Structure 1
């Protein structure tokens, strides 16, 4: 009998651990993050309650449209516990995304969160992919008022497929969900991942599913349309020049905006560097593809 009771207690303990495998529930009314505390915990130490004010729970600006004049055509405003200290231990955060027409949030994952997304304006294609080996795609085109859920930590994406700007807002099940962009992680790691390893991964993972021409099209999708469209690049340059000083500085770093020729050249360099960054992804893919052999005739 004693052994049976012990077994039941053990099973209940295991079940309790599994159920509470996410972020722990708060043990007091509030635990505002103390960023200056020397204590290292999973999250942040609690600020002295006597020092807590309403401002610790406040974030302003989620109503302000973001600047989508970039190669992705999107802007992500993601206030987490670092911007709202009162989120500490609450296991939630939010994100607003603005999309230009055809703008994208490329495939990425949140290592510590699931996500529920609502379309406020526009028409947005969303989707996520399940784990290997199924790799099943679940995708929908959402309109204003539609809601879609991305399961915990799975790779997902969004794209504005309408002709007008789009806006979404989402809520995530973590005070600090993190974000791992797939392309940037694979091709932009520091130090870089060994080319031979990536070449083998591409050969073994991609070549069984795509023909030579499809592989080339897949790689070329990483190249922004602006690369071969000088007029659109000129339009982007002109639109950047019209932005207020503070907004451009916020997006691209200090001392970018200006009326003189020197600062005008800085804006051009921003555009060129952004395009070259995306171009480098394609060149890396093409290099690895040729090395692995699945683009050879």
Structure 2
């Protein structure tokens, strides 16, 4: 029997933060991005040895270069521990994973450019961008702790040390309530306009019964959507057209805005 396909869906959990917590999150994102930039340089320098490793092998290999321990007192890049004092281990591993992805993407795109695989003949070579707007992935127990689905403790940087802060979860969807869905590591999304947890779930859709009806939704151009209910024999037993004027106007305005920006 064919196993059901796993589907990844992401929920947005809104956080109700105080002004103090906004400052803590801002500092956390700032120091995390600094660590990512530092690690991009290390990984790119040693990519000839690191590029052939699996994801599970790459993280400890990078840590052997820059993370000092009692059993590993001599490392090549000792400045990392000095610049990022008491940097949590799971934040460090999340940063290594992100930095490795950036380097891998750049190397692949650069090789394609060298081989002549380009959109245009005069295309410029890709650049290694270490200054990206990345956000940290949070590992359960080490970076965040859930207290039901009303509160979450998140490890943050206060400018000198890493501390825990409890934040209220203001809004969330229903995927966490489904027993067959598996919650994965969320990401802390914070900027001047938004503050939320981006929570991915591994969803296992139920296998459709052969004799059950099928509901199909077709997103259209002239109408917002068309809904049809079909039996297992192919008979259409219900059809409905959804055409809300307000949504159509909003869509047309946004498409016009995109078109005007693209033409500049």
Shorter-chain TM-score: which interval? under 0.3
Q: TM-score, normalised by structure 1?
A: 0.22
Q: TM-score, normalised by structure 2?
A: 0.23
> Greater share of strand residues, 1 or 2?
2
| Higher RCO, Cα 8 Å, sep 6+ | 2
